[in-house]
Amino acid sequence: MKNDHGTPGPSGGSTSATSGTTPAPGVDGLAPIQDFPASTRVFKTDGHVKVPFRRIALAGGGPPVEVYDTFGPRSVDLRQGLPRLRQPWVDRRTARGDTNFSQMHCARQGEITEEMRFVGLRENVAPEFVRDEVACGRAIIPANRNHPEAEPMVIGRNFLVKINANIGNSAVSSTIGEEVDKLRWAVKWGADTIMDLSTGANIHETREWILRNSPVPVGTVPIYQALEKVNGKIEDLSIDVFLDTLVEQAEQGVDYFTIHAGVLLHHIPLTAKRITGIVSRGGSIMARWCLTHHQENFLYTHFERICELMKKYDVAFSLGDGLRPGCTADANDAAQFAELEALGKLTEIAWRHDVQVMIEGPGHVPMHKIRENMDKQLEICHEAPFYTLGPLVTDIAPGYDHITSAIGAAMIGWFGTAMLCYVTPKEHLGLPNRKDVKDGVIAYKIAAHAADMAKGHPGASERDDALSRARFAFQWEDQFNLALDPETARQFHDETLPAPAAKGAHFCSMCGPQFCSMRITQDLRADVVAEGLRQKAAEFKATGQELYARPAGADYSEDLERTEVG
């Protein structure tokens, strides 16, 4: 099968529906994905811009709760790909002769694009505000003109904190179907962007399937494929091979590229005394190239050529942190901050081309050193959005690094990081499977949401309050359905109390009926109310059961007479 870009994989155009499951259309590794319970896909509209939300109905009464929805159109044939939502918008800009397709370029011309209106509705802010944040570089809307299937989203610290999930095959594991399945799975649970980090066989075809089926922006690290093109020989890499790779991926529709242009020759000795040296794949590749040729990083010296290409498609830079610390002992060292200085300079160059930029950050950082990362990034990179991997706040928990990193992610999100790259329980140990992807996404949804609440994002606590009310009222179904992971919440409850009658019980198995503190509190409140009523009744009787109390000595006989006459 050929698609619109003339490459193997799914082709564009399909149907959308408001609910249902995604079928497995006979592609190896794909499994059906269930929709959320008690939920419907609803839309807020602004002219022809239609923004999806997930509406959760409450059985216990009260208004439904609407939540940000990254799942995309349901009931789609994955062999056909998603509907091409943005195609008319892109066509209009092509027809008027645009050569710089960047959202930043439009914003700086004063234009409010459909993408800006879309994210304005999605985030409940004015489109003018979105335009101004994009124009000054404080926010980006990753939106390659060749990825019209993506629903626009914004990354910036004055918006909701976003999360990214990494997928992609390696030389030793997984099929295309399994990777598309992980994509669908990750966006169901709330991933705002996806990075395809494939390095194994069929990189191009895997990416094509992912792009045509991704309702969220897709990022890549193009140096991985460039290295495949030179048969793994780092010394044979060149700017020409790299630019060829960028064109190939930009034509397919990749929305942002991680480019390790800030790893400079003189930075490399600064890593010599680290415990874990250089842990970024891209960073280590570029360091090796620099040392082999004893030349400056070609991504740095040819950066303007890369900018020229990026703006033709509106691919955003995710300027890579090739020298990020790989353990807490290496955090905030000279190498890390020297690279950050280089990224600040590259940001200025990209902005001269109106190319959108975000800055990647660490990694492994103990809690007391996290704030310094955020403060330096804001100052050195002129408030370009920060996109951090965690950070992991301790190194002692392999197998649980979704937790060690979610702690750091919540903190740095609160301090101002715009997007958090998830970490799964398999970090440092192996390629994540379906369960690991879900665990990583949920851990990061928690971190991002906690940061949104701490930042005082308008309406951020609405869902918390609805769930808390349901919990106190023993509306078990509502409590499950409002949860980030309704399946697990229900399953845990039903492990010990599976009977339907237990869904009406005023306790669960944690404390049992005698010691349920919320039931005791409810009884206490009822007792206080009953006692208050009893007291009032007694007072009423004691005062002669008159309807209106009269102060001592008052005489109302004239008033009563007037009432009778009137």
What backbone phi and psi angles, to 5 degrees, belong to 56?
-100, 115
Least distance in Å: CB of 474 to ligand SF4? Answer: 7
Residue (of 161, 229, 224) closest to 422 by Cα position = 161
Task: Choose one: 293-301, 348-356, 504-512, 545-553; the region binding ligand SF4 (CB under 6 A).
Answer: 504-512
Name which of 510 and 524 has its Cβ closer to ligand SF4: 510
Name which of 167 and 516 has its Cβ closer to ligand SF4: 516
Residue (of 186, 188, 206, 187) closest to 197 by Cα position = 206
User: What angle do the packed helices 401-415 and 434-454 form, to 10 degrees?
Assistant: 30
Name which of 309 and 497 has its Cβ closer to ligand SF4: 497
Q: Quick one: tokens of 18? A: 């408001």
Least distance in Å: CB of 272 to ligand SF4? Answer: 53
Distance of CA 253 to the CA centre of its chain: 19
Least distance in Å: CB of 478 to ligand SF4? Answer: 13
Q: Name the residue type at position 382.
A: H
Name which of 302 and 519 has its Cβ closer to ligand SF4: 519
User: What angle do the packed helices 517-542 and 462-472 form, to 10 degrees?
Assistant: 70
Binding marks (x or -) toward ligand SF4, 510..539, rule CB under 6 A?
xx----xxxx--------------------
Task: Choose one: 268-276, 453-461, 505-513, 546-554; the region binding ligand SF4 (CB under 6 A).
Answer: 505-513
Task: Choose one: 3-11, 110-118, 431-439, 509-517; the region binding ligand SF4 (CB under 6 A).
Answer: 509-517
Task: Choose one: 81-89, 292-300, 458-466, 502-510; the region binding ligand SF4 (CB under 6 A).
Answer: 502-510
The burial of 268, by beta-carbon neighbours within 10 Å (0-12 exposed, 13-18 middle, 19 or more buried), is given as buried
Name which of 229 and 519 has its Cβ closer to ligand SF4: 519
For residues 214 and 236, give the distance between their C-alpha atoms in angstroms, rounded to a whole number: 33
Name which of 185 and 476 has its Cβ closer to ligand SF4: 476
Three-state SS string over 451-516 comes to: HHHHCCCCCCCHHHHHHHHHHHCCCHHHHHHHCCCHHHHHHHHHHHCCCHHHHHCCCCCCCHHHHC
Residues found in the chain = 566
Least distance in Å: CB of 488 to ligand SF4? Answer: 16
What CA dihedral angle connects 191, 197, 201 and 207, to 10 degrees? Answer: 50
Q: Please state, in angstroms and as integers, the Cα–Cα distance from residue 341 to each residue in 156, 261, 285, 346, 361, following that order.
A: 20, 12, 20, 9, 12
What backbone phi and psi angles, to 5 degrees, belong to 339?
-65, -40
Least distance in Å: CB of 377 to ligand SF4? Answer: 41
For residues 499 and 486, give the distance between their C-alpha atoms in angstroms, rounded to a whole number: 18
Name which of 469 and 519 has its Cβ closer to ligand SF4: 519
Least distance in Å: CB of 490 to ligand SF4? Answer: 14
Kindly tell me which residue out of 303, 317, 480, 507 binds ligand SF4, with binding defined by CB under 6 A.
Answer: 507
Name which of 267 and 490 has its Cβ closer to ligand SF4: 490
Name which of 394 and 522 has its Cβ closer to ligand SF4: 522
Residues numbered 119-138 forming contacts with ligand SF4, rule: CB under 6 A? none
- 527: how many CB neighbours lie within 10 A of its CB? 10
For residues 209 and 212, give the distance between their C-alpha atoms in angstroms, rounded to a whole number: 5
Q: With beta carbons less than 8 A apart as the criterion, state whether 560 and 548 touch.
A: no
Least distance in Å: CB of 472 to ligand SF4? Answer: 9
Interface with ligand SF4, residue 483, by CB under 6 A: no
Least distance in Å: CB of 504 to ligand SF4? Answer: 13
Kindly tell me which residue out of 141, 154, 286, 508 binds ligand SF4, with binding defined by CB under 6 A.
Answer: 508
Task: Choose one: 65-73, 199-207, 295-303, 503-511; the region binding ligand SF4 (CB under 6 A).
Answer: 503-511
Least distance in Å: CB of 477 to ligand SF4? Answer: 14
Name which of 329 and 510 has its Cβ closer to ligand SF4: 510
Binding stretches for ligand SF4 (CB under 6 A): 507-508, 510-511, 516-519
